[in-house]
Amino acid sequence: MVETQRIRNFCIIAHVDHGKTTLSDRLLERTQTVMQREMKEQLLDSMDLERERGITIKCHPVSMNYLAADGKDYLFNLIDTPGHVDFSYEVSRSLAACEGALLLIDASQGVEAQTLANAQLADSQGLEIIPVINKVDLPSADVDRVSKQIEDILAIPADEAILASGKSGIGVDEILEAVVHRLPPPRWTDHPKPRALVFDSQFDSYKGVICYVRVFSGSFPRNGNLILMSDGRKTQIKEIGKFCPQPVPLDALTVGEVGYVVTGIRDVAEIKIGDTLSLSDDSAEEMLPGYKEVRPMVFSGLYPLDTSDYEKLKKSVGKLRLNDAAFTFQSETSVALGFGFRCGFLGLLHMEIIQERLRREYDLDLISTYPSVVYRVHMTAGGMVEVDNPLDLPDTTEVLRIEEPTILARIHAPNDSIGDLLALVTEKRGTCSNTETIDETRVMMTCHLPLNEILVDFNDRLKSVTHGYGSMDYDMDEYQESALVRMEILVNAEPVDAFSTIVHRDKAETRGRALCSKLKDILPRQLFKIALQAAVGGKVIARETISALRKDVTAKCYGGDISRKRKLLEKQKEGKK
């Protein structure tokens, strides 16, 4: 057993793709937690999708023993964090389980939007930050420029930064020594009662829910009686242990350690991330700080392309829900698309990943409806309802006002694309409140935008106007009143529920025209004319007509004079007498 003073709990935080997981691999190799022959790239990212997109979706903690230069043994607990903005609550819980953080910055990219967001998050949690400039062996690395950015933007002295490369292993020893000397030992250890923080959970078909925990005080023995403090639920500890990086069962987890707890609970939704665990016979009075309920922000309908796949889809979303408590779903039907589910997600990346996993892991072909957010509708009769489906929007006569969620976005981009970015933000009904210069080539813009405007193509367009150099990070802001209406698409005067969307009144006409012309290209022609109309509250605002199919009367003409074809076409044009 390593004494508590020699335990170091830390995490690695960085912008997407700045080399977090590769650096963790080097740390595992250097501390001989994983032997060279068992090593594979991105060891902690176990999902194919994680490897492919180069992102971490589920974080996986790992314990390492390190013999420091002073001849003492130290226990390091590394908690890998997701770097994407959709998972910011998971990141904040992972940070709460640590005392320090390695802040990785790519030597050629410099400080990006999420580097700043994560550094501020770590700072607000009171963590000790060690800046690491990664990828210094790249030909395009510019260490001086990045050091200056660390001082100017993050307000951290540049001489504290360690130069490293996760790929070739430069600077790994210095990082390990810095963790020993610069990061504090576990905090809050003197609390009289046992307390542990749940920072993630995972479902296992044999064991049920596995909670990833960090013990702050006391000791949790195997077969002890647990209590979940958010709702007072009691259960027994079936198995307890730590990751090295594979799970290793132990008799108990003690102060400052990070590991896993297996309970008899079968539903991930019952174990809330950020919850505090205690022992029921010696229960703590107060929870660890920072717990909050996670609520989905973006909703979309998912329908199987082949209606006979409905049961398969039902099973598949049920399985995904087991591992992801932030994902919600309920069944709904549509006249056009048949049976499906209305699903709730944390954000856009979360939605993409779930749809991709359904297609890939469960082999389903899906149709997804236009994503929507949660609107607050204040009624004339008093009271307020929350609406996430355009079909549930009450009649305009009953509505007093509608409020929509807004976001506060920080956009990092090159100087020369400010004009295009401002045009993009204005087009999306946003305002830019602040512009700061990062260095001679980059700026940071602070913008307010409605959430439903960035749902579909904002990220793609941000990347294209900044030639791939822009990055964005956002936080939820408050709700604000807006002139929103429900736009319906009518096909031959029949409304099609699957195409209904909630749009801003000023944008309804352009959106309606775009949808109708797109449908005109997609829908097959019939033997009669089809009218496609976009309507708001009964008033038609855009129309396209799909013309009827005609018999090919010139089919029997091969060669010969053009006048013969013309004669046949004229005769068809006259129609029947």
The residue range of the domain holding 258 is: 195-282
- Give the tokens for residue 330: 């309920």
User: 120 versus 40: which is more confidently predicted?
Assistant: 120
Residue 561 maps to a domain: no
Rounded Cα distance between 166 and 14, Å, is 13
- Give the tokens for residue 257: 């350690």
DSSP 294: -
Do 169 and 73 share a structural domain?
yes
Cβ atoms < 10 Å from Cβ of 385: 13
Residue 105 maps to a domain: yes
Q: Spell out the residues 6+ positions from residue 184 whose beta carbon is closer than 8 angstroms to its own.
A: 99, 100, 128
Residue 422 maps to a domain: yes
- Give the tokens for residue 370: 């236009």
> What's the rounded mean pLDDT across residues 125-149?
91
Do 156 and 20 share a structural domain?
yes
pLDDT of residue 162: 92
CATH number of the domain to which 48 belongs: 3.40.50.300
Do 237 and 363 share a structural domain?
no
Which residue carries 């226990």 as its tokens?
75
Domain count, the chain: 5
Do 150 and 45 share a structural domain?
yes
Domain endpoint, select from 335, 350, 369: 369
Rounded Cα distance between 21 and 13, Å, is 10
Q: How far are the Cα atoms of 6, 75, 97, 127 from residue 186, in angstroms, in the given order?
A: 9, 11, 10, 11
Torsion angle in degrees (nearest 10) through CA of 562, 564, 567, 569? -70
Domain endpoint, select from 182, 214, 241: 182
Do 468 and 356 share a structural domain?
no
118-125 LR contacts (CB < 8 Å, sep 24+): 118/13, 118/14, 118/15, 118/83, 118/91, 119/13, 119/154, 119/156, 121/13, 121/88, 121/91, 121/92, 121/95, 122/13, 122/95, 125/92, 125/95, 125/96, 125/290
Do 361 and 333 share a structural domain?
yes
Considering the chain, what percentage of its residues have pLDDT values greater than 90? Answer: 32
Do 232 and 106 share a structural domain?
no
**DSSP-assigned letters across all residues of 112-169:** -HHHHHHHHHHHHTT-EEEEEEE-TTSTT--HHHHHHHHHHHH---GGGPEE-BTTTT
Q: Tens of pLDDT along 78-128? A: 887 765 666 777 777 888 889 999 999 999 888 887 788 788 888 888 899
Residue 28 maps to a domain: yes
User: 165 versus 292: which is more confidently predicted?
Assistant: 165
Do 278 and 142 share a structural domain?
no
**DSSP-assigned letters across all residues of 202-215:** EEETTTEEEEEEEE
Domain endpoint, select from 369, 392, 421: 369
CATH number of the domain to which 236 belongs: 2.40.30.10
Residue 565 maps to a domain: no
pTM for the full model?
A: 0.75
Q: Spell out the residues 6+ positions from residue 211 whose beta carbon is closer than 8 angstroms to its own.
A: 198, 200, 201, 260, 261, 262, 263, 271, 277
Do 152 and 14 share a structural domain?
yes
Residue 553 maps to a domain: no
Rounded Cα distance between 79 and 20, Å, is 11
Do 27 and 141 share a structural domain?
yes
Q: Tens of pLDDT along 226-270? A: 999 888 889 999 999 988 878 889 999 999 999 999 988 888 778
**Banded model confidence at residue 385, pLDDT cuts 50, 70, 90:** very high
Rounded Cα distance between 158 and 144, Å, is 9
Q: Can you give the length of the chain in residues?
A: 577
CB distance 6 to 68 below 8 Å: no
pLDDT of residue 336: 80
Residue 440 maps to a domain: yes
Answer whether residue 48 shows pLDDT above 80.
no
Q: Tens of pLDDT along 454-484? A: 887 888 888 899 888 888 888 888 999 999 9
CB distance 504 to 484 below 8 Å: yes
Write phi, then psi, for 351 (nearest 5 degrees): -65, -45
Do 384 and 351 share a structural domain?
no
pLDDT of residue 44: 52
Answer whether residue 56 shows pLDDT above 70.
no
Q: How far are the Cα atoms of 67, 217, 394, 448, 538 from residue 74, in angstroms, in the given order?
A: 6, 19, 62, 46, 71
**Nearest-CA neighbor of 12 among 30, 27, 31?**
27
CATH number of the domain to which 316 belongs: 3.30.70.870
Do 444 and 381 share a structural domain?
yes
**DSSP-assigned letters across all residues of 12-59:** EE-STTSSHHHHHHHHHHHTTSS-GGG--TTTT--SHHHHHHT---S-
Q: How far are the Cα atoms of 56, 284, 389, 445 from residue 437, in angstroms, in the given order?
A: 30, 48, 41, 9
Residue 188 maps to a domain: no
